[in-house]
Chain A
Amino acid sequence: MSDLQKLTRRQMWQLLGAGAVGATLAACGATSPTPTAAPTSVPTRAAGITPAAATPAVSTPASTAVVAANTPATGTRTIELKRHTSPSPAGPAEEFQKRQIAKFEQEHPGVKVVDDIIPAAEIYQKLVVLASTGQIGDVFSVLAPQVSEFQVKKLIRDMDGFLRTDTQWREKEHPQVWPGLLQTLTRDGKLWGMPYPGHPGAVQHFFNKTMLEQAGAKLPPTDGKWTLDDLVTILKTVTKDTNGDGRTDQYGYWNGLQAYEQLPGVLRAFGGDIYDADGRKCLLGTPESKAGLVWLADLFHTHKVAIDPKTDVYDVFPNQKLGIAVLTSVVQRVGNAVGTKFEWAVAPPPLGPSGKYASQVSSGGTMIPLVSKNPEAAWEYLKHQTSKWYGVEAPLAGVGSPGGRFDVWNDPKLFEALPKLKPIADVMVNPPAPPVGAWHHPANGRFLEATTTIDNIMQDVWLGSKKPEQAADEAARTIQAIMDKPPA
């Protein structure tokens, strides 16, 4: 009898099962290529945080030398710089991306930028997976606080080596970048990415001038000389039932109140915050933070002037259901949504009991993976994206906020096209304004875990099912436990 005839069904199943188990265990045991670069996690993009096109850096002797070192000699292979990015909307934004890449390639002959387009909704997960498995390209961006996750995972390269050798950039360009942005991207004494774009946070008060005037409310001053009490007075005047059906249909205030960006903007006005500067201690339980939460809760439940944070602000504000929306520097987007329906403007935030207004720098961080084969070329691209040209031209093309640089927020060309941003620049950015505060976040890279948890706990406050002080204590305990966990 042949061997084949001796094979029973039981034996066949046993063989197949053993084969599957063996193959699976072999796959489990194989270690995925671990990039030696510091890891940076990719946060989901917040409204208003879109990677602005970077202005191409002016060619300097130092940068030229770096490029020359990278640039292949005539007749040799072109360097392909792989950039991971989300798609640009068709129109001026898409045109700008082509223009900025063309400018970079023109200034860096021998380097060709190749885009890997990833849908925005999936970009974070894909970047983490690509970086963790060593398949990532040369340049990618995430929200600035999530750079830490990639850093603790040891997936990205620090910038210090480049800054040491690139004297021109270090001495002439780097000082223009807001210190708060650099602080956000610095961990363990090293800089782990370059910031783009940059604005003073989700604290900018966009107001419907027409609605406020019709309601008889005082307009928010553009010189920043107003208080939280002044704000509440305006909100009470504007909130009303406009059609007499017994239900409020015009609200004074919208704030997304998400922990990653918007909530700190209010807490800081009271001297509080979510995290300390080191990212090792949660500050939600401090008296100052609790005071900020109480003030916010009062807007919903005492004064009843705030609309549900989950409401789509780009629906209610343009449709004149809302008096004041607290947003980032999205003047282009709001302008497009509002059109000519009514007059509107942007005011700096009011002063809090601390005597200060709130600011928390907002930005993405662009990084170079450790596995990048073209780190010098990638550094050139980072400089290009962080340059003044990029920081001015991108918002003019409708691509997000301006670059986080003093010379960008002082550029007349920017304010010719976006005059509504001028009050923000005058009061919050340009001297004698104090530096825009850094974006604090957990040092162990668990930014997403912490913000998701805070958002859910705080919803109990906005819904009125928990007192702000109680929620603050609960959040402080829970978030501190997350911050005490090992690195992500």
Chain B
Amino acid sequence: MPKLRPLSQARREELWAYLFLAPWLIGLFGLIAGPMIASAVLSLTRYNLAQPPVFVGLENYVRALTADDLFWPSLGRTFLYTAIVVPLGVAGALLVAMALNQGLRFTTLYRTLYFLPHLTPAVASIFIWAWLFNPRFGLINEALWRAARIQGPTWLSSKEWALPALAIIALWGIVGGNMMLIFLAGLQAVPQDLYEAAAIDGAGALTRFRHVTLPMLSPTIFFNAILAIIGALQSFTVAYVATGGGPAYATWFFALHIYTNAFQYFQLGYASALAWILFFVLIVFTFIQFRASARWVYYAGEERG
């Protein structure tokens, strides 16, 4: 039997690296890649949990795209929700970060207060907002009436106002949350000499923001925008808890459509197909954003020519 040669230093280090990576790899394959592969296989079947899956090919995908009355409306509503929440969320988080970057007194306290909504459990905050939005007894309509004799809408019970109401609930947690912290870190990384040089050249505050802050912050904005879009397209909790997808499907988000088909109707094969369609939609959006980023994202030290 040949004698095994001792492992080289490099090989030993490599093995230790894999050992430390092992828990993450197990999680990746066991909890992410594995279920993804399973759902891909199930998406090609008719499966109600009680009987074994029956292979049906692309029938679920065809049904989703051509015969599901709720597929396109739910996708449209999700896009609309994303179009409201993402720009406002990103802009709002940037504004709050800029305010907190002014070096005012009690900045740490303000930062904590702004971050608190993000720390509040989602379901608890949604219940509180549902009461605030109560058309008869809620604080918002009461304030509108007392301040300006405005009869507020029925909010979560209104087809027109339910989605904006959900957007407000989401923005309350987004604006002071992780995005704000990332923007704050980005702002603090902008070299001060750039601002000084701009000031010397006669640039006002708005000009400095437009020509110094925004370009230097563009990678951070890009990063936050991508994550915000992905998060908004997958929104589920706020619709599930606050409105159940109603009224009259007004807040029937795509993720809720997937959940309902999977765990209410137990059409697991069909729900898997819907999940994969959403995955491809997210890939397309992310690809478009990366391609578009070449036009407006500026990386310091990058040369364009």
Whether the pair A27, B266 counts as a contact (CB closer than 8 A) is: no
Whether the pair A446, B265 counts as a contact (CB closer than 8 A) is: yes
Q: Which of A143-186 contact B (CB under 8 A)?
A: 153-155
Cβ-closest chain B residue relative to A125: B263
Q: Is the CB of B16 closer than 8 A to any CB of chain A? A: no
Q: Is the CB of B218 closer than 8 A to any CB of chain A? A: no
The complex places the Cα of A168 from the Cα of B289 at a distance, in Å, of: 74
Stretch from B29-37, B108-116, B194-202, B279-287 at the A interface: B29-37
Main secondary structure of the interface of B (DSSP, over half): loop
Whether the pair B50, A20 counts as a contact (CB closer than 8 A) is: no
Q: Which of B110-168 contact A (CB under 8 A)?
A: 135-136, 145, 149, 151, 154, 156-159
The complex places the Cα of A488 from the Cα of B265 at a distance, in Å, of: 8
Q: Which residues of B contact A25 (CB under 8 A)?
A: 37, 41
Q: A39-B50, A131-B50, A133-B49 are in contact. Are A247 and B151 (CB under 8 A)?
A: yes
The complex places the Cα of A478 from the Cα of B69 at a distance, in Å, of: 9
Q: Is the CB of B288 closer than 8 A to any CB of chain A? A: no
Q: A28-B38, A128-B266, A247-B145 are in contact. Are A456 and B245 (CB under 8 A)?
A: yes
A459: which of B5, B69, B246 is its contact (CB, 8 Å)? B246
Whether the pair A23, B247 counts as a contact (CB closer than 8 A) is: no
Whether the pair B50, A153 counts as a contact (CB closer than 8 A) is: yes
Whether the pair A456, B5 counts as a contact (CB closer than 8 A) is: no
Whether the pair B4, A2 counts as a contact (CB closer than 8 A) is: yes
Q: Which of A1-41 contact B (CB under 8 A)?
A: 1-2, 4-5, 9, 12, 16-17, 19-21, 23-25, 27-28, 31-32, 34-35, 39
Q: Which residues of B contact A155 (CB under 8 A)?
A: 50
Q: Is the CB of B264 closer than 8 A to any CB of chain A? A: yes
Q: Is the CB of B294 closer than 8 A to any CB of chain A? A: no
Q: Count of B residues near A, CB < 8 Å? A: 45
B49: which of A4, A129, A311, A452 is its contact (CB, 8 Å)? A129
Cβ-closest chain B residue relative to A131: B50
The complex places the Cα of A440 from the Cα of B130 at a distance, in Å, of: 34
B51: which of A34, A125, A129, A247 is its contact (CB, 8 Å)? A34
Q: Which residues of A contact B29 (CB under 8 A)?
A: 16-17, 19-20
Give min CB distance, A347 to chain B, whole Å.
26
The complex places the Cα of A131 from the Cα of B38 at a distance, in Å, of: 22
Q: Which residues of B contact A39 (CB under 8 A)?
A: 50
B53: which of A23, A24, A28, A132 is its contact (CB, 8 Å)? A28
Q: Count of A residues near B, CB < 8 Å? A: 52
Whether the pair B49, A456 counts as a contact (CB closer than 8 A) is: no
Give min CB distance, A147 to chain B, whole Å.
14
Cβ-closest chain B residue relative to A487: B48
Cβ-closest chain B residue relative to A44: B264
Q: How many A-B residue pairs have CB under 8 A?
A: 108
Q: Which residues of A contact B52 (CB under 8 A)?
A: 31-32, 34
Cβ-closest chain B residue relative to A448: B264
Whether the pair B25, A1 counts as a contact (CB closer than 8 A) is: no
1/0 contact string of B67-95 vs chain A (CB within 8 Å): 00100000000000000000000000000
The complex places the Cα of A371 from the Cα of B25 at a distance, in Å, of: 38
Q: Is the CB of A308 closer than 8 A to any CB of chain B? A: yes
The complex places the Cα of A5 from the Cα of B12 at a distance, in Å, of: 10
1/0 contact string of B1-39 vs chain A (CB within 8 Å): 000110110010010001000000100011001110110
Whether the pair A21, B49 counts as a contact (CB closer than 8 A) is: no
Q: Which residues of B contact A131 (CB under 8 A)?
A: 50
Q: Is the CB of B260 closer than 8 A to any CB of chain A? A: yes
Q: Is the CB of A455 closer than 8 A to any CB of chain B? A: yes
A28: which of B41, B51, B154, B249 is its contact (CB, 8 Å)? B41
Q: Is the CB of A465 closer than 8 A to any CB of chain B? A: yes
Whether the pair A16, B246 counts as a contact (CB closer than 8 A) is: no
The complex places the Cα of A20 from the Cα of B8 at a distance, in Å, of: 29
Q: Which residues of A contact B42 (CB under 8 A)?
A: 28
Cβ-closest chain B residue relative to A307: B136
Give min CB distance, A359 to chain B, whole Å.
28
Q: Is the CB of B248 closer than 8 A to any CB of chain A? A: yes
Q: Which residues of B contact A20 (CB under 8 A)?
A: 29-30, 33-34, 37
A32: which of B33, B49, B151, B248 is its contact (CB, 8 Å)? B49
Q: Is the CB of A80 closer than 8 A to any CB of chain B? A: no
Whether the pair A128, B49 counts as a contact (CB closer than 8 A) is: yes
The complex places the Cα of A488 from the Cα of B50 at a distance, in Å, of: 10
The complex places the Cα of A463 from the Cα of B158 at a distance, in Å, of: 7
Q: Which residues of B contact A456 (CB under 8 A)?
A: 245-249, 252
The complex places the Cα of A267 from the Cα of B19 at a distance, in Å, of: 67
Q: Which residues of B contact A457 (CB under 8 A)?
A: 248
Interface residues of B (CB under 8 A from A): 4-5, 7-8, 11, 14, 18, 25, 29-30, 33-35, 37-38, 41-42, 48-53, 69, 135-136, 145, 149, 151, 154, 156-159, 245-249, 252, 260, 263-266
Question: Can you name 14 A-B pairs with beta carbons within 8 Å?
Answer: A17-B29, A24-B34, A24-B35, A28-B38, A128-B49, A128-B266, A246-B149, A310-B156, A311-B136, A456-B246, A456-B248, A459-B159, A460-B159, A488-B265
Interface residues of A (CB under 8 A from B): 1-2, 4-5, 9, 12, 16-17, 19-21, 23-25, 27-28, 31-32, 34-35, 39, 125, 128-129, 131-133, 153-155, 245-247, 249, 307-308, 310-311, 321, 446, 448-449, 452, 455-457, 459-460, 463, 465, 478, 488
